[in-house]
Chain A
Amino acid sequence: MSSVEQKDRKFGVKQYIPIAMIGISIAFIWMGFAKYGFWEDMKGPRPGFFPVIISFALLVASLLALVFSFKEKAPSWPLENWLVPLSVVVIMGTTFIIGLLPSVGLYVLVWLRWFEKCAWKTTITVFLIIMGIVIGAFVLWLGVPFPKGLILNLIAN
Chain B
Amino acid sequence: MENLQLLLDGFSVLFTLQNIGVTILGAVLGLIVGAMPGIGSLAGVALLLPLTFKFNPTTAIIMLGALYYSNMYGGAFSAILLNIPGDSPAVMTALDGYPMATQRKRPGQALLTSNMASFIGGTIGMIILTFMGPALADIGLKFGPAEMTALLLVAMTSIGWLVGENPTKGLLLTMLGILLASMGMDTLSGSPRYDFGSIYLLGGIPFTPFVIGVVGFAQVIKLMEERNKKTQVSIEKLTIKGSMLTLHDFKRLFFPAVRSGFMGTFVGVLPGAGATTAAFMGYAAQKSFKNEEPLGTGAIEGIAACEAANNGAAAGAFAPLLALGIPGSGTGAVLLGGLMMWGLNPGPLLFTNSPDFAWGLIASLFLANIVTLVIAWGVIPFLIKILSVPTKLMIPIITVVCVVGSYSTSNSMYGVLIMFLSGVMGYVLTKCEYQTAPVLLAFVLAPLLESNMRKAFIISQGSLDIFFQKPISLVFIIILIAIMVFPVVRPLLIRLGLMKRKAS
Residues of A within 8 A of B413 (CB): 92, 95, 147
B396 touches A78 (CB 8 A): no
Provide the B387-422 mask, 1 if CB < 8 A to any CB of A, else 0.
Answer: 000001101110111111101100101001100100
Residues of B within 8 A of A57 (CB): 171, 175
Provide the A77-91 mask, 1 if CB < 8 A to any CB of B, else 0.
Answer: 110111111011101
Q: Complex formed: what's the CA distance from A50 to B449 in Å?
A: 9
Asked if B221 lies at the interface with its beta carbon under 8 angstroms from chain A, I say yes
Q: Complex formed: what's the CA distance from A85 to B395 in Å?
A: 12
Q: Complex formed: what's the CA distance from A126 to B401 in Å?
A: 13
Residues of B within 8 A of A144 (CB): 404, 407-408, 411
Interface of B is mostly: helix
A65 touches B224 (CB 8 A): no
B408 touches A142 (CB 8 A): yes
Residues of A within 8 A of B434 (CB): 17
Q: Provided the pairs A68-B166, A130-B397 are in contact, do residues A14 and B432 lie with their beta carbons within 8 angstroms?
A: yes
Q: Complex formed: what's the CA distance from A18 to B399 in Å?
A: 29
Smallest distance from the beta carbon of A117 to chain B beta carbons, Å?
A: 10
Asked if A120 lies at the interface with its beta carbon under 8 angstroms from chain B, I say no
Smallest distance from the beta carbon of B432 to chain A beta carbons, Å?
A: 6
Q: Complex formed: what's the CA distance from A62 to B171 in Å?
A: 9
Residue from B168, B407, B449 in contact with A61 in the complex, judged by beta carbons closer than 8 Å: B168
Residues of B within 8 A of A80 (CB): 224-225
Residues of B within 8 A of A25 (CB): 175, 179
Smallest distance from the beta carbon of B25 to chain A beta carbons, Å?
A: 11
A-B pair number, CB within 8 angstroms: 166
Q: Complex formed: what's the CA distance from A54 to B397 in Å?
A: 38
Residues of A within 8 A of B427 (CB): 81, 85
Residues of B within 8 A of A84 (CB): 217, 220-221, 224, 395, 399
Residue from B227, B407, B454 in contact with A49 in the complex, judged by beta carbons closer than 8 Å: B454
Provide the A84-107 mask, 1 if CB < 8 A to any CB of B, else 0.
Answer: 110111011001000010001001
Chain A residues 9 to 68 lying within 8 A of chain B, measured CB to CB, are 13-14, 17-18, 21, 24-25, 28, 31, 36, 39, 44-51, 54-55, 57-58, 61-62, 64-65, 68
Residue from A36, A85, A118, A146 in contact with B193 in the complex, judged by beta carbons closer than 8 Å: A36
Q: Which residue of B lies closest to A68 (CB)?
A: B168
Q: Complex formed: what's the CA distance from A137 to B405 in Å?
A: 10
Residues of B within 8 A of A153 (CB): none
Stretch at the interface among B48-56, B199-207, B364-372, B375-383: B48-56
Q: Complex formed: what's the CA distance from A133 to B450 in Å?
A: 40
B225 touches A78 (CB 8 A): yes
- For the side of the interface on A, what is the size category? 35 or more
Q: Which residue of A lies closest to B416 (CB)?
A: A92
B423 touches A39 (CB 8 A): no
Q: Complex formed: what's the CA distance from A134 to B401 in Å?
A: 8
Residue from B172, B194, B408, B411 in contact with A65 in the complex, judged by beta carbons closer than 8 Å: B172
Residues of B within 8 A of A61 (CB): 168, 171-172, 175
A44 touches B416 (CB 8 A): no
Q: Complex formed: what's the CA distance from A68 to B164 in Å?
A: 15
B395 touches A44 (CB 8 A): no
Q: Which residues of A contact B (CB under 8 A)?
A: 3, 13-14, 17-18, 21, 24-25, 28, 31, 36, 39, 44-51, 54-55, 57-58, 61-62, 64-65, 68, 72, 75, 77-78, 80-85, 87-89, 91-92, 95, 100, 104, 107-108, 111-112, 116, 118, 122, 126, 129-130, 133-134, 137-138, 141-142, 144-147
6 inter-chain pairs at a CB distance below 8 angstroms, sorted by A residue, are A51-B193, A61-B168, A65-B169, A72-B432, A84-B395, A112-B393
Q: 8 shortest A-B CB distances, which residue pairs? A: A58-B175, A47-B186, A61-B172, A144-B408, A81-B224, A44-B458, A50-B450, A61-B171
Seed contacts A92-B417, A137-B51, A147-B413; 15 additional CB < 8 Å A-B pairs:
A45-B454, A45-B457, A49-B454, A54-B179, A55-B175, A58-B175, A58-B176, A61-B175, A75-B431, A85-B423, A85-B424, A88-B399, A91-B416, A111-B396, A142-B54
Q: Which residues of B contact A (CB under 8 A)?
A: 50-51, 53-54, 166, 168-169, 171-172, 175-176, 178-179, 182, 186, 188-189, 191, 193-194, 217, 220-222, 224-225, 227, 392-393, 395-397, 399-405, 407-408, 411, 413, 416-417, 420, 423-424, 427-429, 431-434, 449-450, 453-454, 457-458, 461-462
